[in-house]
Copies of this chain bind each other. A is one copy, B any other.
Amino acid sequence: MGLVVQKYGGSSVADAEGIKRVAKRIVEAKKQGHQVVVVVSAMGDTTDELIDLAREVTPVASGREFDMLLTAGERISMALLAMAIKSLGHEAQSFTGSQAGVITDSVHNKARIIDVTPGRIRTALEAGNIAIVAGFQGVSQDSKDITTLGRGGSDTTAVALAAALEAEVCEIYTDVDGVFTADPRVVPKARKIDWISAEDMLELASSGSKVLLHRCVEYARRYHIPIHVRSSFSSLPGTWVSNEPRGEQPMEQALISGVAHDTSEAKVTIVGVPDKPGEAAAIFRAIADAEINIDMVVQNVSAAATGLTDISFTLPTTDGPKAIEALEKQQAGIGFEALRYDDQIAKISLVGAGMKTNPGVTATFFEALSDAGVNIELISTSEIRISVVTRQDDVQAAVRAVHSAFGLDSESEEAVVYGGTGR
């Protein structure tokens, strides 16, 4: 029996009942003989409530003090969780990110982990205690100020601690049963995946699957930490994510891991761009200077008659207005004809390492969409992923058609969704 890192999201510890349920679960793992380190998020809506408070006080809530504020959330949940474990007769100690040795850079609100020095955690474990660690937070190497890790930070804390402590597994407890072949709210016949490669999981995460964030999977892949995503509301096994298939898991890799969709992006089309060197560079420099991350980029061949081409790209809808403003400023310099902006799009992605060696996948994918009457607006592919942009109204039909076409539908409608996700 080795060391296990368990991470519980905000929805798992939303109230006193949730905290007591999670405490029992932790004690079970301890009783099985594991050394247990628990990473916990803030309770339920605590973080949002703190953000609301900050906005009441100041129009610009950011930086050092915003981090100081938000980290109060995990302080509450971790102390309560330690108390709940104690009341079950087991010793538990809670640690802030700083006390747990989560060392970060100084970029407040979205710090990156530089190092993890979990000396106090090791001491607690050696004393036979359960260690509870605040997710999402750390301390900056230079200024010793409190930092937060940004979106998905608690998952990253868990994986980073698992790596530093050489844990057997990092269990991510959430409010769904694991990673599914598609979003069960859209595809009732979606199947829970028993094992998925870290590589495929990365593609799913960047294609709109919200169960695990890209950053956390990337960290786990780099440090060879197996992740077990599972529900805190049931004792069923969830989904294993690892570089290598695990002994007890099916050895064969599926052709297709799953279908992801994303309706949070918008599409910008720059019409009538002179087809000559440097034009695309000028466009994307303008976007980069506005600190906007773009996703898909598609350029068609130019029409021979005009020497003009169209360039389209997708980006988070929230960055849309900023992108349009940045491009309009450059219109004269770059010399394009017009800008089109469309936030009624959806991206549908098919992910699977198996497609590398199977030339029929693309054809089957497009046929499925066509049969479902879904029009394709943009196409972009990688080695193990095909993504298309469609109308947002078509997203359900598209995802279901593709899911079905690749034989991913389960016999029954087994998916259980509890709603809400942790930080």
| Interface, chain A (partner B; CB < 8 A) | 15-16, 19-20, 50, 53-54, 56-61, 64-66, 68-69, 71-73, 75-76, 78-80, 82-84, 86-87, 92-94, 99, 144
Which residues in B have their C-beta under 8 angstroms from that of A66? Answer: 79, 83
Which residues in B have their C-beta under 8 angstroms from that of A65? Answer: 79-80, 82-83, 86, 92-94
Residue in chain B with minimal CB distance to A20: B57
Partner of A84 from B57, B92, B94 at Cβ < 8 Å = B57
Q: Given A65-B94, A68-B94, A94-B68, does the pair A54, B75 have CB atoms closer than 8 Å?
A: no
Partner of A87 from B58, B78, B79, B86 at Cβ < 8 Å = B58
CA distance A16 to B61 in the complex (A): 13
Q: Could you list some 10 contacts between A and B, CB below 8 A?
A: A16-B56, A20-B57, A54-B79, A54-B83, A57-B80, A61-B83, A65-B79, A72-B76, A72-B79, A99-B144
Q: How far is the CB of A60 from chain B (nearest CB, A)?
A: 7
**A16/B76 in contact, CB under 8 A:** no
Q: Given A19-B57, A57-B83, A58-B83, does the pair A50, B68 have CB atoms closer than 8 Å?
A: no
Q: Which 7 A-B pairs have the closest CB atoms?
A: A16-B56, A69-B79, A58-B87, A68-B79, A72-B75, A72-B72, A65-B82
Q: How far is the CB of A359 from chain B (nearest CB, A)?
A: 57
Q: A54-B79, A65-B92 are in contact. List 6 more A-B contacts (CB 8 A).
A: A64-B93, A65-B79, A65-B83, A66-B83, A72-B76, A75-B75
Partner of A76 from B15, B69, B82, B83 at Cβ < 8 Å = B69
Q: How far is the CB of A120 from chain B (nearest CB, A)?
A: 8
**A58/B72 in contact, CB under 8 A:** no
Q: How far is the CB of A20 from chain B (nearest CB, A)?
A: 6
**A59/B87 in contact, CB under 8 A:** yes
Which residues in B have their C-beta under 8 angstroms from that of A80? Answer: 53-54, 57, 65, 69
CA distance A53 to B73 in the complex (A): 13
**B69/A75 in contact, CB under 8 A:** yes
Which residues in B have their C-beta under 8 angstroms from that of A99? Answer: 144
Which residues in B have their C-beta under 8 angstroms from that of A78? Answer: 68
